[in-house]
Amino acid sequence: MRSLWVLISELATKRHRRLTALMTLWLCCVLLIPAPAIAKSQVLIIIDDVGYRPSDTQTLTLPTPVTLSILPDTPLASAVAAQAARQGRDVMLHLPMEADSGYKLGPLALTADMYPHTIADTLRQALRSVPNARGINNHMGSRLTRERLPMQALMQAVKKEGLFFIDSRTTPDSVAATIAENTGIPTAIRDVFLDHEHSEAFLQQQMALLVRIAKKHGLGIGIAHPHPLSVDFLRRTLPQLKHQGVELISVSDLFAPATPSRWEPEPKRRLTLAPQ
């Protein structure tokens, strides 16, 4: 009888050892498998309409990932672009496009009656005035961005320059981003206009919306303008995004393969920041 109990005890011990070994192996496998990466929430901020007013230079005091989109052939275009380059800040060409409103477009604007070669020539001329532009977005354009043929001509020219395109989305009927994507251009679409009403409360509301979009979809793209109120708000608010689990990124981060325009900066005076 004693031998039987010894045999049972030995069998139980062996079984226990096997179970222990299996549990140890399982734990090792679990510990060695890397945890799934947590999706980042990212925000990209673009400041449009830069280039006319001396106060626009205050945009250069914003965190470096903030991208400046500069209107072509404006008094401060080249100087702001050069200063941004010294900071390591990305710039874009804010290309004027025909709008339904009939507002004055400014120099080097694209219109629906242009031939494809004129669109390409105008883009090249505009790029000369905004050195080191990494991409373009549309200034106004509620009419032109609905038109397929002009957009096809533009995106072919943009692709030739090696740039990306961000649709400012000034009309829900825009075909610009779709055509850019079909042309093989890195592209994205604006999510939120931050400051089309000039008040602190509205800016807070729109920034909260942008953060919600970023947390839901991984990325939120916001556009603001170089109004002193907006610049002051962003200067105070953007450093706080990290405390909300949101990363502020640049267009270089978003479009890593894109390269600066081949147009080189012309020698210009060093820019002095306007007083706050």
> Is the Cβ–Cβ distance between 139 and 71 less than 8 Å?
yes
Distance CA 270, CA 273 (A): 10
Asked if pLDDT for residue 162 goes beyond 80, the answer is yes
Q: Confirm if 207 and 194 have CB atoms less than 8 A apart.
A: yes
Q: Domain 41-254 falls in which CATH fold?
A: TIM Barrel (3.20.20)
Handedness of CA 146, 148, 151, 155 (dihedral sign): positive
* pLDDT, mean of residues 74-90: 97
Give pLDDT tens digits for 20-73: 555 555 544 544 545 444 458 999 999 999 999 999 999 999 999 999 999 999
Structure tokens at 129: 């005035």
Q: Which carries the bigger pLDDT value, residue 92 or residue 275?
A: 92
